[in-house]
Structure 1
Amino acid sequence: MLAQAFPEAQITALEINEGALLDAQYNIKQSPFAHRIELLKQDFLSYKPSEAFDLIVSNPPYFSATGAIAPDGGRALARQEQSEGLNLVRLMNLSQAMLSRQDGSSLCLITPLDREMDLRLYACEAGLRSQSLCRVSSLPNKGVRLLSSWTHLELSSAYCRSDISELTLHKSDQTPSQAYADLLSPFLP
């Protein structure tokens, strides 16, 4: 979807889980954008890019190390913060160092809605500020996710207000909301 949305982008994708890596390889090969996507079996914590990124997108481990317990099995690594592994603090600190200083460069995250305050704190500590926060509900009044965008905090620049919005995916009758349908329309036949 990123390759489709940004026709000039060269994309580097990192995946640590072998099963997810195989799925990603298959999906990329089926894509008309495969020539612009590099997939690496790589832990984000040890990744050293040769140049800075204008955009970093992540669906990081989202269960707090001290909160809910991730389900058993291979998915736990992707869902549960690890004391020695990837967590939101490390993700934000490493991403800040990997982001270019170009205007508009950003780190975009998909996290549970209840991690918003954690993200705000970690961003300040990493020298990042929020650009936008979208609180996503699966149904009306049932918030589940936060889509957030973070950029370098420039202390010499004027105050910039964060764009805060809400998106409800489905109406009460379980049919897609118009906003959700509009958002996905460029990606569907």
Structure 2
Amino acid sequence: MARNSFFQFKQFIIRQDRCAMKVCTDACIFGAWLSLGEAQNVLDIGSGTGLLTLMLAQRFPKAKVTGIELDAPAFEQSVQNVENSPYNKQIELLQGDIRQYEPGKLYESIISNPPFYQASLRSPSAQKNAAHHAETLHFEDLLYAVARLLKPEGELHLLLPWDESHVFIKMAETKGFILKQSLTINNHIEKKPFRRIMCFQRATESDNGLKESDLVIYSSHGQGYTSEFEALLGPFYLKL
């Protein structure tokens, strides 16, 4: 997906020239695929441009979505994106560190597309490093925040690279969370998975096992998107 200064969706525009984390295909899949059920209060940790808060507000009109973002330029731009959308009354945006966040309530659903690279080459840009690498929010910090802010029966929805997802699953299990649902994302059917969307809940005696599925973005014949991808992103992409 091109890194333009803005991205036009069917119902809203994401301006992103001040954000290190740009609109990307896997984040759009995340926002279009995850389910909130009957959740009334949803928290987006590391809300960036506001993309996921807007996608969820469009899909779940009864949900109140709160986004918290540490980076000041990204937060300021997300405020602009939300204020200029049809969903500004449904979304609350906050600037701050999730590790110090004290909302005085618990959430039925928490979502996050977090800084995910635990060990890899850094960019010369400090803002990009903070957005993509676990420098300001390690997996343990994220799990601690979720354990503190999620209702006992609540769900955590997460988007991670394929390799890092296995690291997070093991770490989550040590904190009492188990993987309930998983979507594996491939660019092409012949290629290795590159992203994974996961839904976690606290472990209980009535666990019903793991539901797994997969999504291929591009047709193996090189003729554009797969029909599954088009059906999923149809409500958002102008070209679908």
Please name the residue that 2:24 is paired with. none
Q: Is the 8 A contact 1:63 1:70 kept in 2?
A: no
- Which secondary structure does the structure 1 equivalent of 2:152 belong to? coil
- Root-mean-square deviation (CA, aligned residues, Å) is 1.5
State, as a whole percentage, how many aligned pairs show the same letter: 25
Partner in structure 2 of residue 94 of structure 1: 145
Consecutive unaligned residues in structure 2, runs of 5 or more: 1-54
* Distance in 1 (alpha carbons) for counterparts of 2:162 and 2:124: 22
Structure 2 distance, partners of 1:118, 1:29, is 37
Number of aligned residues = 181
C-alpha contact 1:139 1:174 (8 A) present in aligned 2: no
Structure 1 residues 10 and 176, CA gap change in structure 2 (3 angstroms): same
Q: Which of 51, 56, 64 matches 2:105?
A: 51
**C-alpha distance in structure 1 between counterparts of 2:124 and 2:215, whole Å:** 31
- The answer to whether 1:72 aligns with 2:124 is yes
- Alignment counterpart, residue 109 of structure 1, candidates 132, 135, 158: 158
Query: Does 2:202 match 1:148?
Result: no
Q: Distance in 2 between matches of 1:69 and 1:3?
A: 35
Structure 1, unaligned runs of 5 or more = none
Q: 2:145 corresponds to which letter in structure 1?
A: L
Q: 2:74 aligns with which of 20, 29, 40?
A: 20
1:6 CA drift (Å): 1.2
Q: SS of 1:101's equivalent?
A: strand
Residues 83-132 of structure 1 deviation map (CA, whole Å, 9 limit, x = unaligned):
xx311122122202211124xx2111111100122111111121111111
The aligned residue for residue 159 of structure 1 is 207
Aligned-partner Cα distance in 2 for 1:126–1:71 = 31
**Structure 1 contact 10–37 (Cα < 8 Å) conserved:** yes
Task: State how far apart, in whole Å, the 1-side matches of 2:92 and 2:207 are.
Answer: 37
CA apart distance, 1:188: 4.2
Contact 1:70 1:79 in 2 (8 A): no
Deviation of 1:185 after TM superposition, in Å, equals 1.8
- Per-residue deviation, 1:38: 0.7
Change (3 A) 1:17 1:174: farther
SS at match of 1:147: strand
CA apart distance, 1:30: 1.7
Aligned-partner SS, 2:166:
helix
Aligned with residue 90 of structure 2, among 20, 36, 60:
36
* Structure 2 counterpart of 1:187: 236
Code of the residue aligned with 1:92 in structure 2: it is: L
Residue aligned with 2:234, SS: helix
Q: Match of 1:62?
A: 116
Taking structure 2 as the reference length, the TM-score comes to 0.71
